[in-house]
Structure 1
Amino acid sequence: MNNHKVFKMAFASVYPHYIAKAEKKNRTKAEVDAIIFWLTGYTETDLQQILDNKTDFENFFAKAPQINPNITKITGVICGYRVEEIEDPLMQQIRYLDKLIDELAKGKSIDKILRK
């Protein structure tokens, strides 16, 4: 897929898929939100505005209050790519989020997912 198209995709269009993936494995929307808050520094109010405004991924990450400094502890493969080796910073951030949601769906504890 063209990276530019991914960057311009509304976060709100993917968010329900994150929740569905988690809930299919008996995880919760609250856990998905906790991952997003941990990764970006957003609050519940911020997230609702992002969803309401159909903010794209590019701005979702560019305007994040604080990308978690432990983001570099996220390693592994997602969509066939090692997240720590992705060169485009924005695509890497998107894949970090994908990886964390994937870990949630695979049953990893929330403390491990949040690198505590």
Structure 2
Amino acid sequence: MNLLPLHCQQKCALLGEYQIPLPTLNDPIDHVVLGIRPEDIIIEAGNDAYTVEGKVYLEEGLGKEKLISVTVKGSQYTIRALVSAEEDWEGKTVKLRLPSQQIHWFSWNGNPEHPLNQRERLN
């Protein structure tokens, strides 16, 4: 599972150069953890609020699939995605679609020492 602790601004989570829309919440929040499974991420050329771009710096062969590690443009965050093993991915720039229905949002107080098991699911 990709777990990304992010700052929030104007009902969006900030991921590098990208603003990912938050689910509808009763109260504004300053920090959140975005969770998404590698198998739920889609490689595509789309340009919507749930698409980010980055460079593949590592690919791991898993038989019929590969697990790629992508540094998100404008950040130090890594997102891992499951992709076809038929293509060479290392060094490529890719667009990753994070389907909104597959994103898991968790509360976070902004402290990196705050353990995951004490975070509350927001959606």
Q: Give your verdict on TM over 0.5.
A: no
TM-score by length of 1: 0.27
More strand by share: 2
By relative contact order (CA 8 Å, sep 6+), the higher-ranking structure is 1
Greater radius of gyration (CA): 2
TM-score by length of 2: 0.26
